Amino acid sequence: MSLRSLTVRRGECPVVDRATLDVTAGEVAGLIGPNGAGKTTLMRAALGLIPHAGRSSLAALPPLARARAAAYLPQGRQVAWPVPVAALVALGRLPWGGADPDGAVERAIARMGLAAHRDRPATALSGGELARALIARALAQDAPLLLADEPAAGLDPAQQIRTMQVFAALAAEGRSVLVSLHDLGLAARHCTRLILMDRGRIVADGSPAAVLTPQRLAEVFAIRAAHADTPDGPLIQPVAVLDANDPKI
């Protein structure tokens, strides 16, 4: 996916302001930033779901080609009908006419640990189970790019880690993932690259260590955080909110 000067305005206010980035095969790119930074709007504009200026390689595609090129997991987790989990996941095959010659649906169900729930009505699932079912639906699409907006929200710690491991496995298979996250620790440990947004602009793009510096955490999030390196990756834990008058901000 390639974005060039992507801009979305709400009236005169730029919600996304001249965003330029590429998401390439083999990476899990974490999109981070405070509430209102423009993360969700950037994803939706990149997919051509809302009006925008600038260029998105995805939005330039015809609808069917776009659906085959990118799977989108939005924040909303509403299912209106009591369809079985397996049928819900199978909706991911619609861009392919419902065909599933390679078993993408069953593979997605297994990856998200939903085999025991495959025949349950989706409306009877817990919040975390439904979140995993919707992730599985996106995985079943079997697209080379996955855009996931806050997929870890509402999941317990084990499922958060497993979900990020699934994304890492997709990257290892040669696909690409752009995932919006609020948990900076999860982003630091599991993303190969972080894209930091603030007030509609991309203000940093690089490795977790290069992006999550004390100065940027203070300037963008107004927090102080504890950092540690472990055999399982870097740990970052916000520990204090900084006063708006603090000279570090």
CA–CA distance, 124 with 175 (Å, rounded to integer): 32
* Domain around 212: 2-241
pLDDT for 229 equals 87
Q: What is the 3-state secondary structure (H, E, C) of 25-42?
A: CCCEEEEECCCCCCHHHH
- Residue 91 inside a domain? The answer is yes
Assigned domain for 64 exists: yes
Please calculate the CA angle 227-37-134 and round it to the nearest 5 degrees.
85
Check residues 46 and 80 and name the one with the higher pLDDT.
46
Helix or strand holding residue 148 (H, E): strand 145-149
In a domain, 117, yes or no: yes
Q: Does residue 247 register a pLDDT over 60?
A: no
Q: Kindly state whether residue 207 falls inside one of the protein's structural domains.
A: yes
pLDDT at 231 over 90: no
Determine, yes or no, domain membership for 249: no
Q: What is the four-CA torsion angle of 102, 106, 107, 110, rounded to 10 degrees? A: -170
Q: Is residue 248 part of a domain?
A: no
| Least confident piece of the model among 15-19, 29-33, 235-239 | 235-239
Average confidence (pLDDT) over 208-216: 94
pLDDT tens digit sequence for 96-148 = 999 999 999 999 999 999 999 999 999 999 999 999 999 999 999 999 999 99
Tokens of 32: 């981070």
- pLDDT band of residue 58 (cuts 50, 70, 90) is very high
Evaluate whether 152 touches 183 at the Cβ level (below 8 Å).
yes
Instruction: Please report whether residue 247 resides in a domain.
Output: no
Radius of gyration of the chain (CA): 18
**55 pairs with which residues across the strands?**
4
CATH number at residue 137: 3.40.50.300
Of the candidate ranges 119-133, 171-185, 209-223, 227-241, the one whose mean pLDDT is the lowest? 227-241
Q: Count how many domains the chain has.
A: 1
Phi, psi (deg, nearest 5) at residue 62: -60, 155
Distance CA 174, CA 163 (A): 17
pTM of the predicted structure, to 2 decimals: 0.93
Distance CA 35, CA 155 (A): 19
Q: Is residue 246 part of a domain?
A: no
pLDDT, one tens digit per residue, over 165-178 is: 999 999 999 999 99
Q: What kind and span of H or E run contains 209?
A: helix 208-211
Q: Which residues pair with 177 in a beta bridge?
A: 28, 146
Quote the CA–CA distance of 1 and 100 in Å, as a whole number.
25
